[in-house]
Homo-oligomer: A and B are copies of this chain.
Amino acid sequence: MHTDTSQFVTATYLVHSKGGDLHKKALGIAHGLTVGTWTELPETKKEEMKKHLGHVVSVEELGKDENGRIKARLTIAYPMINLTPDIPALLTTIFGKLSMDGMIRLVDVTFPEAFVKQFPGPKFGIDGIRKLLGVYNRPLLMSIFKSCIGYDLKTMAEQFYLQAAGGVDLVKDDEILFDETYAPFEKRIEACLRAAENAERETGKKVLYAANLTGPVTEIFTKAKRAVRAGANALLINVLPFGYDVLHRLAADPEITVPLVAHPALAGAFYASDRYGISAPILLGKLMRLAGADFVLYPSPYGSVAMEREETLQIAAHLRGKREGLKTSFPVPSAGIHPGMVPLLYRDFGVDHVVNAGGGIHGHPQGATAGGRAFVAAIDATCKGIPFKEAAAESRELEEALALWGCPEEVS
A residues adjacent to B (C-beta < 8 A): 33-37, 48-49, 51-52, 81-84, 86-89, 91-93, 95-101, 103-104, 106, 146-147, 149-150, 174-176, 178-181, 214-218, 221, 238, 241-243, 245-246, 248-249, 263-270, 272-273, 275-278, 299, 304-305, 307, 335
Contacts and interface: CB of A to CB of B under 8 A. Distances in A.
B249 A218 contact: yes
Given A82-B179, A238-B92, A267-B99, A48 B276 contact: no
Contact of A214 (B35, B84, B98, B304): B84
B36 A266 contact: no
Contacts of A249: 216-218
A193 B103 CA distance: 39
A94 B42 CA distance: 52
A97 to B, nearest CB: 6
Contacts of A91: 241, 265-266
27 contacts: A34-B149, A51-B150, A81-B179, A81-B181, A82-B179, A84-B179, A88-B214, A88-B242, A89-B214, A89-B241, A91-B266, A96-B265, A97-B265, A98-B268, A99-B265, A99-B267, A100-B264, A100-B268, A101-B305, A103-B272, A106-B269, A217-B217, A243-B245, A272-B275, A272-B277, A273-B277, A277-B277
Contacts of A103: 272
Given A37-B147, A49-B150, A216 B269 contact: no
Nearest to A358: B36
Contact of A266 (B33, B52, B96, B150): B96
A305 B97 contact: yes
A275 B277 contact: no
Contacts of A307: 100
B36 A96 contact: no
A52 B96 contact: no
A305 B100 contact: yes
B48 A93 contact: no
Contacts of A268: 98-101, 104, 276
B146 A37 contact: yes
Contacts of A101: 268, 304-305
A276 B265 contact: no
A182 to B, nearest CB: 10
A333 to B, nearest CB: 12
Contacts of A92: 175-176, 178, 238, 241, 263, 265-266
Contacts of A93: 176, 178
A146 B241 contact: no
- Top 5 A-B pairs, shortest CB-CB distance: A36-B147, A96-B265, A243-B243, A99-B268, A100-B268
Contacts of A267: 99-100
Given A82-B179, A179-B81, A217-B243, A272 B266 contact: no
A49 B152 CA distance: 11
A96 B175 contact: yes
A243 B272 CA distance: 20
A238 B100 contact: no
